[in-house]
Amino acid sequence: MLLAYVFVGLRGIQGTIDPGGVVLVIGAFSSVAGTLGQISSTFVAVDQHTRFLGDYFSFLKIEALLPVPEKPTSIPDGPVDNISFENISFHYPGGHGEAIEEFEFEYSQR
């Protein structure tokens, strides 16, 4: 790229290219250099992101931890007036004791 600038500069000094032509050619070189820089940074970004594709596909192969019912209950359309949880307990696999025990919660929108 430097040689191209030197070449255009020498032509400008020799008078074979007028000053407007020198500015035009240097602007074109700058534009091409910027575009090539963007293309190379795009390739670098693609290379960096493809490294994680193996992890992504491994994640997709993990089976669901909760079973999916054969006939799932659908969520009703429109606003929900009331949500309630009754007698909910939870423990972490391998943990000692319940993390949540006999939890109850009720929400009413009125």
**In the block, residue with structure tokens 């009125």:** 110
Q: Which residue has the higher pLDDT, 5 or 77?
A: 77
Answer whether residue 75 shows pLDDT above 90: no
Answer whether residue 102 shows pLDDT above 80: yes
Annotated domain spans of the chain: 2-59, 80-110
**In the block, residue with structure tokens 């007028």:** 18
Answer whether residue 28 shows pLDDT above 90: no
Residues 6+ apart with CB under 8 A from 5: 26, 29
Mean confidence (pLDDT) of the chain: 85
Answer whether residue 93 shows pLDDT above 70: yes
Residue 93 sits at the vertex; the CA angle it makes with 87 and 94, to the nearest 5 degrees, is 125
